[in-house]
Every structure is written in C-alpha cells, then in structure tokens.
Structure 1
Amino acid sequence: MSNISRGRDWDRRGVLRAMGGVAALGGLAACGSNTGRSGGGGKSIKQMYHAYGEQGTQQAAKKFADAYGKAKVTIEWVPGEYESKLATTLLGSGAPDVFEYHPDLQLVRSRQIVPLDDIIADVKDDFLPEDITANSVDGKIYGIRMIDDPQFFFYRKSLFEKAGVKPPATFDELIDAAHKLTSGKVKGLYIGQNLKTISKPLVWSTGPHYLDADHRIAYHTDNLVETLTKARELYKSKSLLLGAPTEVWDPASFLQGLCAIQWCGIWAIPAIQKAFGDDFGIFPFPKSGAEGRQVVYNGGWSTYVSAKAKDVDAAKEFVKWLWIDQKKYQQEWALDYGFHIPARKSIAAGADKLKSGVAAEAVELFNTHGVFDDPYWTEGMFNILLDAVVNSVRDNKNPEAELDSADKKIERALKKLG
C-alpha cells in the first residue's frame, strides 16, 4: 500500500538509523487512535501502522482491532517518516507490541523482535517461499507477510503511440523514451522526488542483489558504475518530472497528466483505470547492461512482535488471530483498498479482482520478475548505499569512488552483525 511523502527534492529522506543504533529523531507522531474493546481481561496491545494513502485503510485497521475480544487493541497511525519514528520508539518505553515493517537483521541482532515460528507453523506452506525467506534469519521466522506490493512503471498507451515509443526493455531504452515523450508541460518520466524509492530496482536491474548467498557485497560491479553514470545524464536532462505534487506512492502526477511514465505500485491500478480506462499499461524496471535483468520490486509489509511487548504471548496470539486466522480481514486488507496481492496463496487464488486486465498482468510480472528484500541487508546498509547513489546521480560525484566508500562502511556493518 502507498506511503505518501511530501518531500520536495532528490535527496534521500534522511538517515534513519546509524549502524549501531538509532538517530534521535524525535517522538512518535500519530494521527488518530483506537480505544478498542474494554474487555480482554485487562490485557492491552498497541499496534503500529504507517499511514497508508488509500482511503478506508485507517478505518479498516480500527475495525480489525475492535473485533478482537481477548485484549484492548489500540492503533498508532503514523504519518510521514514511519521507519525513523518506529526505530526511535522501539528503543523507548512506549514501544509498540505489534508493528509492521520490512525484514531487517538489525532488529534480530539487537533482540528487538521475537521469532514467530510457532504461530505460523501450521500455515507456513500457504505463504510464498520468498516471503518466508525474506522474514527469516538463521532459520527462524520473525515476520508474517501481510501483503505483497509489486511495483513497476505505469505508462499512457496513447502517448506512447503518438511518440512512436514501445515499452522499454533496457535502461537505455527507458532514457530514450523519456526524452521522446517529453513535450510541453508533460515530462517523459517520473521516478520520485528523491532517489530512495527507485534506488533498489536501479541497483538490481544491473544483475545481482545487494548481497550474495554468503552475505557478501555483490552490488558493486562495473555495470552499476556505468548505470549510475547514465542515470546522472538522465537527471541532468529535462525529461524528468521534478517538484511533483506527491511522491510516487501516489499516482496523482500520472493522473494529472504531468508525466507519460511513472513508477508506482499495484495498489494504484483501480484509480488509474477509473481515470484512463484502457489507455494505460505497465512494464518492469528495464534491465541495465548485458548482465542485467528486468525487476519488479516486491514492496509490501510484514507484521512483527516487539521483544518489549508488555505480554509477548498475548501479542503473538493477536498476530495469529489477525494475520493467520482471519482470512476475511486479510482478503479485505489486500483487495478493498486499492489492489494488493494477498500474502496467503489460498486467498490469492480466489482474488478475482486480480485475474483480468492490467491487474492480471501485474501478477504475472510479479511472478516472473519479482525481487524480494534480503533480511541481511539492513536499513542502515540501505542508507549507506543510497548515499552513494544520490551522490553519484544528483551531485555528479565519481560513482566508483562513492561505491568504494560505501563498501567499506557496509563491510564494517556486516562484520559487526556477524
């Protein structure tokens, strides 16, 4: 689901965490909370969500919490920089009992989350193996996938036809298409107000993941250096939409005709279809270089239980109830507020809304080109490499030197984390 940011530049959206701790970025902000049931035998559970952009999501989260009868569940609905606010509050006395996040080794090594093998054991095979792997560290499962959110480029078919452009299969073709599609007030391409959103598929499109199977640096290749150089040329051109009204999580720029191509996610399909009918399509992030590959980044969210929970067993019981037992709520969360692929295979099999048109194509692209997060690649490592990408593309620094510098920091982090 979307996470709408209001940042206005191409810089990263702030260092979220240093390698050994958390930046002191202030207290947790929440917009609205849920009083939950008054029963539950006196037990209480605090559940934290980022502020989803789709209408109805906050109300649905509250409805789910209200329906739980074994504890009083309150909702923290966090706008803005969710990751940094979560990281800060996890270290304090007001840490949530249950929260959504992405796989991260740092949370395991610092003992901030607990394993969930016992509550997922009976339905483990009903999740994609990649989602299980993405939430596993040292053979233990720490997160339960809530939704899968593949991301790709959306494009206007009529504008492509007018410009004589076909959906790009390579990064060079994407750059060429952006130039040809730029006309008047319409920019050819929108990839975000900063490089944070697009940096993962940009790196992965060169071939390797961040780390290899032995958790060693794999991203630093000649192909990535060349790709960053090309991205710099694209940034300097007048083909990119800058200063857009919203981040790429929101399809507003595409819907308003400010760009011919926009990076976004499967959740946006209903809104775009309502606006343009059949006059739009999607394609993966194109491969870059001879060793490259097309990429569909699987965003999505997983739920975790804090080791600081007031009652860890009660928090785990709630997670099991909501994200394992309540298939009706899981289906509603995935399909009634924008489109998302249900994390449970048994639910996805009956998701009729995803079986036709662009939605069906999105599922097929996800199955063919989907790339998942690596839990051994932490948020801190991501920000280090993001700095190198931003410095190379936006600030015109030497990509090889920037990657060399990132390598040293990331190698120290990997060593520290064992």
Structure 2
Amino acid sequence: MTISRRTVLATAAAMGLLTACGSNTGRGQGGSGGSGPDLAQWYHQYGEAGTEQAVERYAAAYKKARVTVQWRPGNYDEQTAAALLTDSGPDVFEVNGPTLDQIQGKQVLDLTALFEGVKDDFNPAVLAPKTHDGRIWAIPQVIDMQMLYYRKSLLADAGVRPPPTLDELVDAAKALTTKKTKGLFLGNDGGAGVLGGTPLYAAGLELVTPGGEVGFDDPAAARALGKIHRLYAGKSLLLGAPADWSDPSAFVQGLTAMQWCGLWALPVVEKALGDDFGVLPFPADGTGAKPAVPVGAYGAAVSARSRHQEAAKDFLKWLWIERTDYQEDFALSYGFHIPARLSLARRAAKLREGAAADAVRYTTDYGYAQPLLWTPASQTAYQDALSTIIKDGADPDNELRTVVRKVSAELARVRRKS
C-alpha cells in the first residue's frame, strides 16, 4: 500500500532550505477559470488514485477566483517551509502543521474568523495543534488515526479476550505467540518508531500540558514504557516482517494475531478477512486512565505573503467549511479517512457500521494529536530514549529523567520566543 496521508502521523522532519522552489508556483499555468484574482494552491503528492483529479475538480468549481492547483512531489514540508519565505510561494497550501516557527514568524494568516458558528463541529483533537494563543492557523482537512487490529478467531482459539488494558495486551501477545504466529506487530523496530507518546496518553499523561510544561514527569510514564519493553523482551513481537507497521500484510497473512496499524488499512483487512477481525484503541494503563488513539490531520493555510489574502481566505472557507460534500468526498472516495467535521463523520455512510464506526468513536472519545509545542528537538530526545528502553532494556526512570530535562529546556526556549 502507498498511502501518503499516513505521513501526518509520522515524526515531523526538521525544516530545511529547498533549492528547487524558485518561481515554479503554477501561477499563469491555467486554473479554475473563475473570475477574480489568481490563486496558487499547493498539495503534497498523495499516493491515492484520483486525489489529484479531485482537488483540481474542486478548484475548477470555484467561481470567485482562478485557482491553480500544484501537485508537489518530494519533501513537501521542506518545500513549503522554504517557499513561505519568498514572494513566489503559494497563496493557499496544505500543511502538516503549521509549525510553531511558521506561526511565530508570521508566515501564515490567522483563520479564526472563518470558524464562526462551526468551530465546535471540528474534532477538537486535530483542531488543537492548529491553535496557538487562542487563534486558529489552519483548517483541518481529514483525520488519519491509528488503532489495534486483532484476529477474532485467533483470540478465541487461545481463550484470550480483546485486551482492554496494557497489562492484558502484554499477556495476550504472549498467549497468542506460536511457532507460526507472533502475538503482536508494532513495527519492525518493536514499536519505537510508531508508538511515540501513545503509551503516555494511555497512562493518563501527555507530552505537553496545557500550560506548556512537560506532561510525563511522573512514575506512570516509566511503568508504561517498561511494559512495552516486556513485549520486546518476551519475544511476543513480530520483527523483520516484509512490510512495516503501516502495511497490514503481516496481519492479513497470519504472521501476527494483532497489529498496530492505521485506519487506511481497514478496506484491505476487511476484504481479506471479512468479519474475522476487530479494532481497539491503545489499551489504558493505570486506574482511571483512558485508552489512547493518535490522530493527525493535514490542514489548509494561507501564506502571509499572498498578494490576495482575503480572496485566499474566502476560497478556503468555501472549500473546507462550506462545501461539506467535497470534504466527505476527499476523506472517503480516494482512500479511507475520517472527515475533520464531527457531523460529517457521524453521517458518512462508509463510517456507520462495524470497525469503521468503532474507529470514529475511538477517535472522538480518545483521540490525541502531537502538541504544537512538541518541537523536533523534544521529539528526538524522547524517541531516542523510547528506542533504548524498548530494544535495549534501559532503565525507564533514568532515561525519562534525562528526557524531562531536555524537554523542559526546550519548552522554556519556546515560551521565551512567544
């Protein structure tokens, strides 16, 4: 599977300079044919067939401006970061963010006013990281999420129930491991790359508090990550699979009884296994803690260097707030995703039943997104420690104490800039 929208759940890359952005903005190369100003709109290159044609069709339907869509292959985040510093970048653009630097550097426009009367209809988990100082800087487009797939028949044969807690997940993975099948697949690195802060949220913690402080300076963090190491050390995890966690092939081929994967895989799993599977959020760990579901969403933003700022805002409001038919089409006709609007997610026919309906419910009830204040420096410090804990059995308390110091210093730096 080549589903590029899953990149919204990956680790954010450090921003760099692009040598090839130049003046290749797409302006003057054809567009919607509408009246009014010329607007250049950028998207990253999707792997889902029909997506490019769809966004061109949306742009062509807009009559108050001539909107030219440009499909951007390559490292899109770096391309847009560089283009926002020039006068030859896009007017409106898709963004995996925007980043705190882009907001603080006044590279994107405040879009708060566009949400009047509809803000509460956007999933709060994906709206939060697009909000800073009470202002909204991008409109979430669609939601991608991750969840735990399990094979009903294999669990039944082993006398194992779908695990509601992290302790039961560890025990279930061990009980489900046989000579032919491993109990759980968290990726070929044992989960260090994909899990991120999910075990912390499932332990009732968070990466960054609402007040901008470290959210995991707590013994519960070490206990949770220690349990992930138990999975690795107990040889319950599938390692060295032909494809990594984002591809469901290991699960549908019976190499593992449970797999952490994304919503995008659901149609493939359903086609292969029928109703012999179920889905769960990441299990809760600790009294009073809730399960956790990592979510992410590309958003639509307006460049502060646009020569037609009000027209650009009007276009985004039309496309991502008013045209709910296009929003549902974008989410579900070219892949499998959840609309960012709660009302659309509830009424979409493809999301009303079975595992899809469960996924929507989990996202609404347990979804969390990586906080805006969680910078690449903090991410690197935490990921390095997580990998060492899971794979090498390093002491979680010691590793996390070091991470807390580094992240505290990084958050202090960010607050000074604000």
Q: TM-score, structure 1 length as denominator?
A: 0.84
Name the counterpart of 1:154: 149
Give the letter for the 1:229 counterpart: G
CA RMSD of aligned residues (A): 3.1
1:55 Cα deviation from its structure 2 partner: 3.6
1:244 shift after superposition:
3.0
The Cα of 1:309 is off from its aligned counterpart by 3.7
8 Å CA contact 2:164–2:284 kept in 1: the answer is yes
Secondary structure class of the residue paired with 2:335: coil
Q: How far apart are the structure 2 equivalents of 1:349 and 1:123? A: 15
Answering whether residue 406 of structure 2 is matched by residue 412 of structure 1, we say: no
The alignment of Structure 1 onto Structure 2 pairs a total of residues equal to 403
Aligned to 2:259: 262
Q: Which of the residues 211, 214, 219 maps onto 2:211?
A: 214
Structure 1 position 126 matched with structure 2 position 127: no
How far did 1:5 drift?
Answer: 8.5
Relative distance call for 1:53 and 1:171 in structure 2 (3 A) is: farther
Residue 338 of structure 2: aligned partner: 341
How far did residue 275 of structure 1 move? 1.4
Give 1:324's aligned residue.
Answer: 321
- Kindly tell me: are residues 75 and 238 of structure 1, through their superposed partners in 2, closer, same or farther at Cα, counting changes over 3 Å? farther
Q: Is the 8 A contact 1:153 1:282 kept in 2?
A: yes
2-structure distance, mates of 1:371, 1:406: 21
Q: What does residue 275 of structure 1 align with?
A: 272
Residues 230 and 141 from structure 1, CA distance in 2 versus in 1: closer, same or farther, beyond 3 angstroms? same
Query: Is the CA contact (8 Å cut-off) linking 1:48 and 1:76 kept in structure 2?
Result: yes
**Residue 183 of structure 2 aligns with which residue?**
188
1:99 is matched with: 94
- Please give the per-residue CA displacement for 1:141-173, whole angstroms capped at 9, x wherever unaligned: 112111233321011111111222111122222
**1:189 aligns to what SS in structure 2?**
coil
Structure-1 separation of matches of 2:332 and 2:32: 30
Amino acid at match of 2:4: N
- Residue 356 of structure 2 aligns with which residue? 359
Q: Aligned partners of 1:175 and 1:89: how far apart in 2?
A: 47
CA-to-aligned-CA distance 1:315-341 (integer Å, 9 cap, x gap): 323322221222221010122233322
Q: Name the aligned partner's letter for residue 16 of structure 1.
A: A
Q: Give, in whole Å, the separation in 1 of the partners of 2:341 and 2:5.
A: 26
Q: Which one of the candidate residues 350, 360, 370 is aligned to 2:347?
A: 350
- 1:174-323 equivalent positions in 2, closer than 5 A: 174-194=169-189, 195-290=192-287, 292-309=289-306, 311-323=308-320
2:133 corresponds in structure 1 to 138
Q: Is the 8 A contact 2:345 2:360 kept in 1?
A: no
Q: Which moved more, 1:265-274 or 1:302-311?
A: 302-311
Q: Deviations over 1:17-52 (max 9, x none)?
A: 2xxxx3568767xxxx99652745562413122x44
2:161 alignment partner AA: K
Q: 1:173 aligns with which of 143, 168, 171?
A: 168
Cα distance, 1:84 vs. partner? 5.4
The letter of the residue matching 2:414 is L
Distance change >3 Å, CA 210–CA 13, structure 1 → 2: closer
Q: 1:16, 1:380 within 8 Å by CA — same for their partners in 2?
A: no
Alignment correspondent of 1:9: none
Q: Which runs of 5+ in 1 are unaligned?
A: 7-11
Please say if residues 11 and 379 of structure 2, whose CA atoms lie closer than 8 Å, have aligned partners that are also in contact: no
| Offset, 1:351 | 1.1
In the alignment, is the contact (CA less than 8 A) between 1:296 and 1:366 conserved in 2? yes
Query: Would the aligned equivalents of 1:297 and 1:372 in 2 still touch at CA under 8 Å?
Result: yes
Q: Is 2:63 the partner of 1:62?
A: no
Note the C-alpha offset of 1:286.
0.9
Query: Secondary structure in 1 aligned to 2:43?
Result: strand
CA contact (8 A) 2:77 2:95 kept: no
Matching residue of 2:4: 3
Task: Indicate whether 1:76 and 2:71 are aligned.
Answer: yes
- Structure 2: which 5+ residue stretches go unaligned? none
Q: Percent same amino acid among aligned pairs? A: 36
Q: Shift in Å at residue 137 of structure 1?
A: 0.9
Task: Classify 1:137/1:360 alpha carbon distance in 2 versus 1 (closer, same or farther; 3 Å).
Answer: same
Q: Where do residues 21-32 of structure 1 align in structure 2 (5 Å cutoff)?
A: 22-23=15-16
Letter in 1 for 2:179: G
1:116 positional shift: 0.5
Local SS of the residue matching 1:190: coil
3-state SS in 2 of match to 1:99: strand
Q: Secondary structure at the match of 2:199?
A: helix
TM-score under structure 2 length normalisation: 0.84
User: Structure 1 395/60 Cα, relative in aligned 2: closer, same or farther at 3 Å?
Assistant: farther
8 Å contact from structure 1 (residues 99, 306) kept in 2: no
How far apart in 2 are the matches of 1:56 and 1:361? 27
Name the CA distance, whole Å, in 2 between partners of 1:237 and 1:15: 31
- Pairing partner for 1:45 from 27, 40, 46: 40
In 2 relative to 1, CA 53–47 (structure 1 residues): closer, same or farther, beyond 3 Å?
same
Over residues 50-86 of structure 1, what are the superposed CA-to-partner deviations in whole Å (9 max), with x where a residue is unaligned?
A: x44444333323333444442242333445x655565
Contact 1:192 1:198 in 2 (8 A): no
The one-letter code matched in structure 2 to 1:243 is G
User: Distance in 2 between the 1:182 and 1:25 partners?
Assistant: 47
Task: Give, in whole Å, the separation in 1 of the partners of 2:252 and 2:334.
Answer: 18
Shift, 1:296, TM fit:
1.8
Provide the C-alpha distance between the structure 2 equivalents of 1:93 and 1:174, rounded to a whole number of angstroms. Answer: 52
Would you say the 8 A contact 1:388–1:406 is kept in 2?
yes
